[in-house]
Structure 1
């Protein structure tokens, strides 16, 4: 089970602030942010496919047959 951190520090995104609504993300910016996150000691847990998603796909197939 993962342990919850009590103190959280928020980091501002790297690079210039985009104009407009601020939602524009490029793959380069995401890559820079991930690299900075990892350099700061951050770790990303990659999860595999769960059985729940398999069951959802199976139920869609069953519904399509009807």
Structure 2
């Protein structure tokens, strides 16, 4: 579980960084533009990955321990 936990920390940190960057740029986007749609889809993807990391961490699933 040690290797899995370190990978999950990295994935969680990257997703939080992306969400922070999206949060800072969100006020400057105009609704209905292409960049607004891409930002919304990116935020949804990052939030989904945070939920997946939380589920894997909660159940102590050793994803990378078999390798």
Q: TM-score, normalised by structure 2?
A: 0.30
Q: TM-score, normalised by structure 1?
A: 0.30
Greater Rg by CA? 1
Query: Does 1 or 2 have the higher relative contact order (CA < 8 Å, sep 6+)?
Result: 2
Bigger share in helix: 2
